Amino acid sequence: MAKQLTDQVTFRHGATINSRLVQSPMLSRSGKDDGYVTQDTIDYYAARSQSAGMVIVEYTYVSHSGGPAQSFTSNRLQLGLYKDDQKPGFAKLAQVLKKDGNKAILQLAHTGREAVYRAIQGEKVYAPSAINFDFLDYDVTELTDEQIREIIRDFGAATKRAIDCGFDGIEIHGANHYLLQQFFSTESNQRTDEWGGQSLDTRMNFPMAVAAEVFRVVNTYAPKDFIVGYRISPEEIHGDRVGYDYRDANQLIHKLATTFDFDYIHLSLPAYNAKPAGVDQTFAALARPELPAETKLMIVGNVMSEADAEDALQETDLVALGRATLIDPQFGLKISEGRGDEIIREISPEQVKKSKLTPGLLNIFSTPKMEPHLPGRESIYALHETDASGKSASWS
Ligand SMILES: Cc1cc2nc3c(=O)[nH]c(=O)nc-3n(C[C@H](O)[C@H](O)[C@H](O)COP(=O)(O)O)c2cc1C
pLDDT at residue 76 greater than cutoff 70: no
C-alpha 26 to ligand 1 mean position (Å): 5
pLDDT of 387: 57
Strands 126-127 and 141-142: parallel
Residue 365 CA: nearest ligand 1 atom is 1
Query: What residues are in contact with ligand 1 under a 6 Å CB criterion?
Result: 24-27, 58-59, 107, 173, 175-176, 231, 268, 300-303, 321-324, 372
Query: What is the mean pLDDT of the segment spanning 386-390?
Result: 54
pLDDT at residue 56 greater than cutoff 60: yes
C-alpha 193 to ligand 1 mean position (Å): 33
pLDDT band at residue 390 under the 50/70/90 scheme:
very low
Output the residue whose Cα is nearest ligand 1's atom 6. 26
With 0.75 as the threshold, say if the pTM is over it. yes
Query: What is the mean pLDDT of the segment spanning 384-388?
Result: 70
C-alpha 303 to ligand 1 mean position (Å): 12
pLDDT at residue 396 greater than cutoff 50: no
Residue 372 CA: nearest ligand 1 atom is 31
Over residues 140-197, the pLDDT tens digits come to 999 999 999 999 999 999 999 999 999 999 999 999 999 999 999 999 999 999 999 8
